[in-house]
Amino acid sequence: MSTPRVTAVRVERRRDGAFADTPTPRLSWTVGSDVPGWRQAGAEVRLDGSEVARLETDESVFVDWPFDPLAPRARHRLEVRVTGQDGAASPWSEPVELRSTFLGDGEWQAAFVTLAEPDGEACPGLVRTEIDLDRPLASATLYATAQGVYQVAINGRDVDDAVLKPGWTSYQYRLAHEATDVTGLLREGRNAVGIRFAGGWFTEKFGFHGHARRVYGEDQPAVAAQLHLRYADGTSQVVTTGPDWRGAAAGPVVSSGIYDGERIDARRAATGWSEPGYDDAGWPAVTTRDVDVLPVPALAEPVRRTGELPVREVLTTPSGRTVLDFGQNLVGRVRVRVSGPAGHVVTLRHAEVLEHGELGTRPLRHARATDELVLSGGEDVLEPEFTFHGFRYVEVDGWPREFDGRRDAAAFTAVVVGSDMHRTGWFECSEPLVNRLHENVVWGMRGNFLSIPTDCPQRDERLGWTGDIQVFSPTASTLFDADAFLAGWLKDVEAEQAASGGSLGFVVPQVLPDGDRPAAAWGDAATVVPTVLYERFGDRRALAEQYPSMRAWVDVVAERAGDNLLWEGDFQFGDWLDPDSPPDAPGEAKVAKEIVATAHLVRSARLVARAAEELGHAADAQRYGDLAERARQAWLTAYVTRDGRITSDAQTAYAMALAYELVDAAERQAMGDRLAELVREAGDRIGTGFVGTPIIADALTDTGHADVAGRLLLQTGVPSWLYAVTMGATTVWERWDSMLPDGTINPGQMTSFNHYAFGAVADWMYRRLAGLAPAAPGYRRLRIAPVPIAGMDHATARLETPYGPAEAGWRAEDGQVRVRAVVPAGASALVELPGGETHEVGSGEHEWAVRDPRDERVRAGV
């Protein structure tokens, strides 16, 4: 009898520590066992080495808290052991140090403070205070937040490695605070607490075509912090920001903006300002600000520096400028080590691409994306702190000597910045271009998951477009553990909806004029994203907490659709960025916008009905199920002709009809055949925009046209997924032809080289091509159903599911397809082999060999 082992224990959603953002956090654990088909019969959870809760459950993902509710600032040691259905018990797991991050009712006391004498709008600054600790300290917890971005230093040391804290939320409704253990930074006697801060998103001006405006009402940032001290003698003390703190427009950051970049003056370094004894007599007292929003615990992992890249090549442009190529389109900033005369300015301009050898800045629109480094006269190591850029190339101007590429390139390091999520998905196949496409999707997600899910990281936008994350959330939830990240963003979705009567607009946080209007496929993020979190992570709490938001969205759309349940007449994005849309009219698509709109009413009503059934709301399940069916019938009557064609005879229309189950079973095959025919008529090129692209491969595969889906994937001509790869792309582009074949940037005023929406095909690559899909929430039951395509010899997907590592893939050789699967302990799988053979299997490693079912003519490319 083999002994199982608990390999990991997790508290709530985050992966970067055992943080409880609620008094009753859920627990998850993974189990390793070499017993085939191992299943859990029960578990024990031990708190602080003594209190044990026995759980008669076979569940190990998001298990309810089995002890008394936690107190604020609680610290506990947590261990888990399990017993299998075979009676074998595991040892206790390695202990996890759990820490509460929430505050008790009425405990938030800190005032928001800002500079009394700012030097211009959105002025970066420093605030500080000193405190005396007159007895031994047991623990210290710092709670802090900002209307802006900040970092805290205690006695000269930063409290953590997070950047751009506390991230971007819908500031008028929700502020997130951190809770940081700072016990080790304090000492008996005199201590100093300092906060450096800038405006970040809070003071940024948002808008297009030169009409940007400040949204949140204040032109200066503010910070708030409170330090909870617990002494060894059992007494406690709270130190808060308030009018007794002092602040100044000091420090090396002279100016900072998300879009403009940062100016750093190394001559202004305020040495020792966050240490005891610093002379701040010249700093005036701060000003306090009334803020009505009560900060709540941050749910997601913070933004951090997640990697570094060296310069790959130093280029001299046709005009004689020096440009650094980092070899990868990334998001972050550049750290520079440089010596030069005091006051000398080095300027760094960032861009994603070169156009005919010069820095391609036109796609940035009104974003300067420029950092200015003013040298101190000694050796400086300078890195912007409160901004970020999307770039691969950096133009260097004002280098203090003639630039020596072999030597000076080493002075520059690209620092990758993004929300520090845990990577969970890996894909590999026999086609190198597809592997590069997959990596482009990963890099696109890394860059655009920065505090919120953005559309692009480089131009004067970087907004939380709801349509983009609606189509990409399944892929995001495969590549990374995005549960905490997206659950946090959904809190802002909920807040924005509450403020607009249930409607969900174009972006969250909502900062655009008229951006709170409902639009199909964009506002449907309210129903789709919670569903994805439940499907991929087993996060039933996300589904339950967002259920009122889901229902409110469908109610808004149903009201706008009226009695005939056809959503017509409103503004719609439609199948945005159809490859045939004109450069300056990205919403002009082959499929009519009303067809897209009503199809999404059906889809979202059905998702609400399913959520209602899962959550036990029987009346709602019936109501929204009936609504979905009536809207479906209305869609069929209005948009499907008697001969079974859709009035917009386009790829996206048929893909929706199939993927959203708009047509009856009798019509499905004919619709799939027509879709395949349209793809062939287009020369096996993609003909879809934001709406159709994530679902077209599934629609083809489900109707027996996997070969056509495969040709779409492997196509290299424009438009196609691999066209950008052949053009040297290292992220996914916004347009199918963001760069034209002659190296000219698309003439449209809206062009980005880092947009993840079209990368949503990666989800199909995992689920269908390699064959690794969830068949029950959280992958407790897997569907292993690989679909080999012509032009490939093998494909494999690996995934860290909530139950543990899973794998599926296939390899073709000698006229056979060999299928391999790994099912984690505690899970099971339905296996559907190429050719139709099926198996039910439990955990463990499995392998089968079947005759290669691919047609020889198709495989030969005939």
DSSP 196-262: EEE-TTTS-EE-STT--EE-SS-SS-EEEEEEEEEETTS-EEEEE--TT-EEES-SSEEEEETTTEE
Cβ count near 70 (within 10 Å): 19
Evaluate if residue 383 carries a pLDDT over 80. Answer: yes
Bridge partners, residue 5, by sequence? 32
Instruction: Give me the helix-helix angle, 483-499 and 466-479, nearest 10°.
Output: 160
- For 743-780, the pLDDT digits (tens) are 999 999 999 999 999 999 999 999 999 999 999 999 99
Do 321 and 364 touch, CB atoms closer than 8 A? no
861 pLDDT tier (thresholds 50, 70, 90): very low
Cβ count near 181 (within 10 Å): 18
pLDDT of residue 693: 98
Q: List strand residue ranges (DSSP E) for 85-221, in order.
A: 96-100, 112-114, 125-133, 137-147, 149-154, 157-158, 176-181, 189-198, 205-206, 213-214
- In 616-692, which ranges are continuous DSSP H helix? 618-639, 651-659, 665-681
- Averaged pLDDT for residues 813-840: 97
Mark which of 761, 794, 821 sits at the end of a domain. Answer: 761
The structure tokens listed for 505 are 């607009």
In angstroms, what CA-CA distances link 389 with 259, 371, 386, 580? Answer: 8, 10, 11, 30
Q: How far apart are CA 274 and CA 293, in angstroms?
A: 28
Mark which of 297, 325, 342 sits at the end of a domain. Answer: 297
The structure tokens listed for 188 are 């008996």
Q: What is the DSSP letter of 483?
A: H
Evaluate if residue 332 carries a pLDDT over 70. Answer: yes
> Do 552 and 600 sit in the same domain of this protein?
yes
Mark which of 241, 262, 297 sits at the end of a domain. Answer: 297
343, part of any domain? yes
10 Å CB burial of residue 859 (0-12, 13-18, 19+) is: middle
Evaluate if residue 105 carries a pLDDT over 60. Answer: yes
pLDDT of residue 678: 98
Cβ count near 736 (within 10 Å): 24
Half-sphere exposure of 521 (CA within 13 A, CB side): 28
Evaluate if residue 285 carries a pLDDT over 70. Answer: yes
> Do 240 and 320 sit in the same domain of this protein?
no
- For 528-550, the pLDDT digits (tens) are 999 999 999 999 999 999 999 99
Evaluate if residue 622 carries a pLDDT over 60. Answer: yes
Cis peptide before 548 (omega within 30 of 0): no
Do 579 and 687 touch, CB atoms closer than 8 A? yes
CATH of the domain at 589: 1.50.10.10
pLDDT of residue 855: 59
pLDDT of residue 854: 86
Least confident of 161-175, 209-223, 593-607: 209-223
Beta-carbon contacts of 681 under 8 Å, excluding residues fewer than 6 positions away, are none
DSSP 13-47: S-SSSEEESSSS--EEEEEE--STT--EEEEEEEE
Cis peptide before 741 (omega within 30 of 0): no
Q: How far apart are CA 632 and CA 621, in angstroms?
A: 16
- In 3D, which of 516, 596, 616, 504 has the Cα closest to residue 550? 504
Q: Tokens 């050898």 — which residue?
A: 357
21 pLDDT tier (thresholds 50, 70, 90): very high
DSSP 383-396: --SS--EEEEEEEE
Q: How far apart are CA 653 and CA 598, in angstroms?
A: 11
Cβ count near 118 (within 10 Å): 18
- Averaged pLDDT for residues 159-164: 98
- Averaged pLDDT for residues 359-365: 97
10 Å CB burial of residue 184 (0-12, 13-18, 19+) is: exposed
- Angle (CA) 590-596-597 rounded to 5° is 140
Instruction: Give me the helix-helix angle, 432-448 and 466-479, nearest 10°.
Output: 120
Q: How far apart are CA 129 and CA 527, in angstroms?
A: 46
The structure tokens listed for 107 are 């405990």
- In 500-639, which ranges are continuous DSSP H helix? 525-537, 540-561, 593-615, 618-639
769, part of any domain? no
Q: How far apart are CA 314 and CA 395, in angstroms?
A: 10
203, part of any domain? yes
Average pLDDT of the chain is 97
- Averaged pLDDT for residues 659-682: 97
- Averaged pLDDT for residues 102-111: 97
Evaluate if residue 859 carries a pLDDT over 70. Answer: no
Least confident of 210-214, 446-450, 736-740: 210-214
Do 32 and 804 touch, CB atoms closer than 8 A? yes
Do 199 and 217 touch, CB atoms closer than 8 A? no
Cis peptide before 518 (omega within 30 of 0): no
The structure tokens listed for 606 are 């059905």
pLDDT of residue 857: 41
Q: How far apart are CA 594 and CA 571, in angstroms?
A: 10
> Do 132 and 183 sit in the same domain of this protein?
yes
What contacts 24+ positions apart, CB below 8 Å, involve 341-345? 341/375, 341/377, 341/400, 342/267, 342/375, 342/376, 342/377, 343/267, 343/374, 343/375, 343/377, 344/374, 344/375, 344/398, 344/400, 345/372, 345/373, 345/374, 345/375, 345/398
771, part of any domain? no
Evaluate if residue 1 carries a pLDDT over 60. Answer: no
Evaluate if residue 858 carries a pLDDT over 80. Answer: no
Do 266 and 376 touch, CB atoms closer than 8 A? yes
- For 413-423, the pLDDT digits (tens) are 999 999 999 99
- For 176-202, the pLDDT digits (tens) are 999 999 999 999 999 999 999 999 999
> Do 72 and 31 sit in the same domain of this protein?
yes
CATH of the domain at 118: 2.60.120.260
Q: How far is CA 54 from the centre of its chain?
A: 36
> Do 268 and 160 sit in the same domain of this protein?
yes
The structure tokens listed for 373 are 């480094």
632, part of any domain? yes
653, part of any domain? yes
> Do 292 and 310 sit in the same domain of this protein?
no
Do 51 and 67 touch, CB atoms closer than 8 A? yes
- For 445-465, the pLDDT digits (tens) are 999 999 999 999 999 999 999
Q: How far apart are CA 737 and CA 720, in angstroms?
A: 9
- In 300-431, which ranges are continuous DSSP H helix? 405-408
- For 550-562, the pLDDT digits (tens) are 999 999 999 999 9
Half-sphere exposure of 850 (CA within 13 A, CB side): 21
Q: Tokens 């001559």 — which residue?
A: 267
Query: What is the model's pTM?
Result: 0.97
> Do 308 and 293 sit in the same domain of this protein?
no
Half-sphere exposure of 743 (CA within 13 A, CB side): 6
Torsion sign, CA atoms 431, 435, 440, 442: positive
- For the chain, percent of residues with pLDDT exceeding 70: 99
> Do 594 and 611 sit in the same domain of this protein?
yes
Evaluate if residue 210 carries a pLDDT over 90. Answer: no
- For 319-329, the pLDDT digits (tens) are 999 999 999 99
> Do 11 and 84 sit in the same domain of this protein?
yes
Collapse the DSSP code of 758 into the 3-class scheme (helix H, G, I; strand E, B; otherwise coil) and give the result. helix
> Do 310 and 374 sit in the same domain of this protein?
yes
73, part of any domain? yes
10 Å CB burial of residue 485 (0-12, 13-18, 19+) is: buried
Count of structural domains, the chain: 7
Q: Give Rg (Cα) of the chain.
A: 28
699, part of any domain? yes
Evaluate if residue 712 carries a pLDDT over 50. Answer: yes
- In 3D, which of 361, 308, 304, 313 has the Cα closest to residue 337? 308
Q: What is the DSSP letter of 765?
A: I
Residue 242 belongs to what domain range?
A: 112-297
Q: Tokens 């297009």 — which residue?
A: 208
Beta-carbon contacts of 157 under 8 Å, excluding residues fewer than 6 positions away, are 185
In angstroms, what CA-CA distances link 393 with 312, 334, 348, 440, 756? Answer: 10, 11, 10, 17, 20
Evaluate if residue 856 carries a pLDDT over 70. Answer: no
> Do 840 and 786 sit in the same domain of this protein?
yes
pLDDT of residue 2: 77
CATH of the domain at 836: 2.60.420.10
10 Å CB burial of residue 406 (0-12, 13-18, 19+) is: exposed
> Do 411 and 344 sit in the same domain of this protein?
yes
Beta-carbon contacts of 520 under 8 Å, excluding residues fewer than 6 positions away, are 557, 567, 572, 573, 574, 593, 596, 597, 598, 599, 600, 601
Evaluate if residue 399 carries a pLDDT over 80. Answer: yes
Q: Are strands 296-297 and 176-181 parallel, antiparallel or unpaired?
A: parallel
Instruction: Please give the positions annotated as active site.
Output: 461, 734
